[in-house]
Amino acid sequence: MVGGGIAGVAAAREGRRRGHDVVLFEPSGLASGASADGAGMVRSCGVDDLERALALRTLRIVADDPAFRRVGGVLAADDPAQLSAWGRPAPLPVELQPLAAARWGLLAPDDGVLDVQRWCDAASSGIPVRGERVAASDVSKRGRVILALGAWTTSWAAEIGLVRRLQPRRRHLLHIERGPALRDDLAWCWDLGRGAYLRSGSAGAVASACDVLDAAHLPPRGEGAVEPAHVQTVVDAFPGLSTGDFGRSRWGLRSFTATGAPWAGPDPDRDGWWWFCGFGGFGASCAPGAAEVLWDRVEGRRVHDLDVSRLDVLGTQGSAARG
C-alpha cells in the first residue's frame, strides 16, 4: 500500500482483516496529507447514490469507534425547495438556529465527525508501516501495489508511465476559537446556498468556505493568513460566528477524478497495479466503505449493492487521459 492517508490506511486495514499480507509505505506519518487537513465530517446525506452507498458502509464501519462522534449532520438552505430533491426538509434544529443563517435543514442523524488521525492510528494497528518515501521506479513488485497517494498519486504513477489525471482542488479550513454557541455534540451544518460549513469540536470549530480553485500549481498543503473573503462567506452562513477569532487558515488538496467518483479498481493496462484515490471532498465519508469494495474486487467477489463500473473511471477514461 503506497500512501498512509485515510484511503491507504482503510485499504490496508481491510486487506489485513481479510487475511492478506499488507505492508504500508508512508514517509510523513499516518494521515499527514489531505487527511490531516480535512474536517472529518462523515456525510451520507445529499450526495449521489454511489457516494451515499459508500458513506453508509463507512458509517457501519466506524459507528462504534471511539474516533467517531455521531452528532448528526444538517444540509441547510433558505428555501426548503432546495432540499426537497434529497428528502423532507425540516426547520433547522434549535441548537443550530442561533448560529446559522439558513432556516431549513435536512437532518441525517447517523452522520457525524471522524477524528481521522485517531482512526488511522488505531486502524493501522498490527500492520507493518514503513516510513519510507517510495519511488515508483524502485518498486520491485511482488503481489499487488495499491496506489493511495491522494494528491501525489498522479505524479508518482507518472514516473513509471501510469499516466492518469486527478484534478486537485483547494479547500481552506478556518480554525475558530471555541465560543459559547459551540458544543462538542453540535451537529455539523453545511449551508448549500452560501457554500460554507461548520463543524464543532473540542479544539474549537472549523469552518470552510467552498474554494474550487484549480490548484495543480500549488504544493499539496499549506497554511497562511486568513483570507477576508473566506471569513465573510463563513459569517454570512453562520452569523453566530461573527465575533469568533479566525486564528489561522490551512488548506489542502482534494483530488477529484473526471467523473467525481473515486477510483477503486485495477489499472487497465498494468497487471497487479491498483488505484485507490480520487476521493475529492469525501475521503473521510467514503474511503473506509470503499476499501471493502476494493478488496471484494481484488478477491473477485461480486459487489451487489452498487454499480462498480463507476469505480472504474480509469478503465473507461484511462486511455483518453493519457499524456
Ligand X SMILES: Cc1cc2nc3c(=O)[nH]c(=O)nc-3n(C[C@H](O)[C@H](O)[C@H](O)COP(=O)(O)OP(=O)(O)OC[C@H]3O[C@@H](n4cnc5c(N)ncnc54)[C@H](O)[C@@H]3O)c2cc1C
Give residues in contact with ligand X (CB under 6 A): 2-8, 25-28, 32-35, 37-41, 133-134, 148-152, 156, 171, 173, 208, 252, 254, 277, 279-285
The CB-of-39 to ligand X minimum distance in angstroms stands at 3
The CB-of-81 to ligand X minimum distance in angstroms stands at 26
Residues in CB range of 308: below 8 A, 6 or more apart? 265, 293, 297
**End-to-end CA separation in angstroms for the chain:** 25
Name which of 12 and 301 has its Cβ closer to ligand X: 12
48, exposed or middle or buried, with CB in 10 Å at 0-12, 13-18, 19+? Answer: exposed
The CB-of-29 to ligand X minimum distance in angstroms stands at 8
Name which of 40 and 240 has its Cβ closer to ligand X: 40
Cβ contact 25:171 at 8 Å:
no
Name which of 293 and 300 has its Cβ closer to ligand X: 293
The CB-of-166 to ligand X minimum distance in angstroms stands at 10
Name which of 134 and 303 has its Cβ closer to ligand X: 134
Name which of 100 and 153 has its Cβ closer to ligand X: 153
β-bridge mates for residue 42, sequence order:
112
